[in-house]
Structure 1
């Protein structure tokens, strides 16, 4: 254990499945999500160069995940650069989940030999690439199949029982957004689409807009923007102090998700399912899937913004009157904080 500690290997589930997963999401955002936005915008504006730019960015998802995971695990430069290959192999053989696994194992095994020999410049990237590639080849397809199968099961369940499954999906993915877990990475690894993705989007919007509205009296317009179009993760420390503040936005998601998918036929894709209103990516992806029609804009306004705000505000005010939420429970501190992604 002393040797592992010296090499910077913690074997901590938190480091691997919360911290590293969050940085994996950053790699996804910078390539797949942004690339999809560019590709969509280029298509709408008939700008082939922008379409090519977006397509290129989307294709570099794997390398970006590899670098992001290696960076978060405090790997040496040689390991970070070699993780480009591990991430690419994982993406090709196992999708986003395979890329994450390949990068994670490649980095940690690369650390074991890093700086130990005179041929470090060759041995370290060699071990990182080989172990990452074999991880991608042997377990990547299995991980991808498992995640895809789970995602299909969720989508099937949502189609069969939209009321119950819509509520469950909205709650699970929405709570992931307000937790240290990356809701965006979860939705992408599950490859959510259709009504399941529509429900997830509403659940995420409920968390972000709901917290923004419920905390308006403490945080005013700055907090409204930071949480509403930034991330509800800014409320993490407050959730730890008083978990009851999760109730208003969660209730909003539970109410609105089945209304959205049953009454309005709301659908989305995996890239937008776990984003909520962060950078309005969830709304842009909804429009991309459903079409840029006035009825879709209206549905988005009601289900992603107005509904969550009204329901969360009403429930939070009732909880304030009952003493379950005190003034200051929703105050966020944005000064000097690192920007976190969903």
Structure 2
């Protein structure tokens, strides 16, 4: 039984959710980046691309299609099943948002994979089964999904406004750890912080998403600076602009190295919900400094009602400077205590 649960966890929480994050990045997140770049004089055509491709809205089926294909690819199913999951994911995303696309993609991929090779007419049976199952799951689950996610968003909104410091700590630490763990924090944030089209996001929800962004930044920037002596500039860039997930093998061997960036996130998170009032929404809240997506998302949400100079300063403080300084301080203490030793954060590609 234990092996069964381990397989379920690995297949549907690690593989499928991580693949979903890639699908989100290749559609919605890159659309957000291009849309913001399109505001620069002379680059307006980029914004036109995102509009024409329907990758700039929260209810666009194109994002769902990308999620469906990514999940099917991550689950390593038959090629025909992968292609058909574009339709299943689109149905799921349109009816139930990111969670709907995830469920539709998973069930559709498994159904298509199950019938693959069972008949001589795979070219008909596999796509038909994939789309029918994905559509059925989406139609049946969408009402419940929407109700649960709406209730969750309302709770986070209410709890953050009522207790901004504890919620800032919890959200920042949890989402930051999800980013470093082998699951997709972007997919997690897309599920929680994506507001359906036509619905207005509450202030508490946006502040919680801002804390999530800070938590992800703390992990990435924290590992980048604390491991600089071991990994140099290459490690600084790969972790600071890539992902702190590449430290996972070192974390398993030396868990203490996770403490400095996590403590930093526990400080920057509540600062974002109280002092700096940092906001974000959607999947960009779970990206941190990866490709500067977290900063692009923060800018998109806050630029309309915050002076540009103040927003830049606040982002620099909460998402870069404070995480770096705090992580270095905590790491220095742990090194003095002997909890962190030289080479504990050495990445494999930099080992001689």
TM-score normalized with structure 1 length: 0.91
Q: Partner of 1:12: helix, strand, or coil?
A: helix
Question: Is 1:308 equivalent to 2:323 in the alignment?
Answer: yes
Q: Structure 2, unaligned stretches of length 5 or more? A: 1-5, 195-204
Name whichever of 46-55 and 125-134 sits farther off. Answer: 46-55
2:23 paired with 1:21: no
The correspondence for 1:99, drawn from 94, 101, 107, is: 101
Contact 1:148–1:191 (CA<8 Å) still a contact in 2?
A: no
Paired position in structure 2 for 1:294: 309
Which of 270, 273, 293 is 1:261 aligned to? 273
Counterpart of 1:203 in structure 2 is 215
Q: Quote how far apart the aligned CAs of 1:125 are.
A: 0.9
Partners in 1 of 2:130 and 2:349 — Cα distance?
A: 37
Aligned to 1:162: 164
> Which secondary structure state, in structure 2, belongs to the residue aligned with residue 247 of structure 1?
helix
Deviations 1:117-145 (A, max 9, x none): 12221111111110010011001332243
Whole-Å separation in 2 of the counterparts to 1:334 and 1:296: 36
Q: Residue 263 of structure 1: SS of its match in structure 2?
A: coil
**Which consecutive unaligned segments of at least 5 residues does structure 1 have?**
1-9, 336-342
Identify the residue that residue 197 of structure 2 maps to in structure 1: none
Q: Which residue of the other structure, out of 52, 68, 72, is the alignment partner of 1:66?
A: 68
Which of these residues, 214, 220, 232, is aligned with residue 226 of structure 2?
A: 214
Aligned length: 327
Cα distance in 2 for partners of 1:264, 1:254 equals 15
1:276 maps onto 2:288 in alignment: yes
How far apart, CA to CA, are the structure 2 residues paired with 1:145 and 1:208?
34
- Superposed CA RMSD in Å reads 1.8
Counterpart in the other structure of 1:153: 155
Task: Point out the more displaced range, 283-292 or 217-226.
Answer: 283-292
Q: In the TM superposition, what is the alpha-carbon distance from 1:50 to its structure 2 partner?
A: 2.1
Question: What is the CA distance between 1:11 and its match in structure 2?
Answer: 5.7
**1:334 offset after TM fit, Å?**
4.0
2:249 maps to 1:237? yes
* Corresponding residue number in structure 2 for 1:37: 33
Deviation at 1:40, TM superposition (A): 2.4
- Aligned ranges for residues 172-191 of structure 1 at < 5 Å? 172-191=174-193
326-335 or 316-325: bigger deviation: 326-335
TM-score for both structures, normalised by structure 2: 0.89
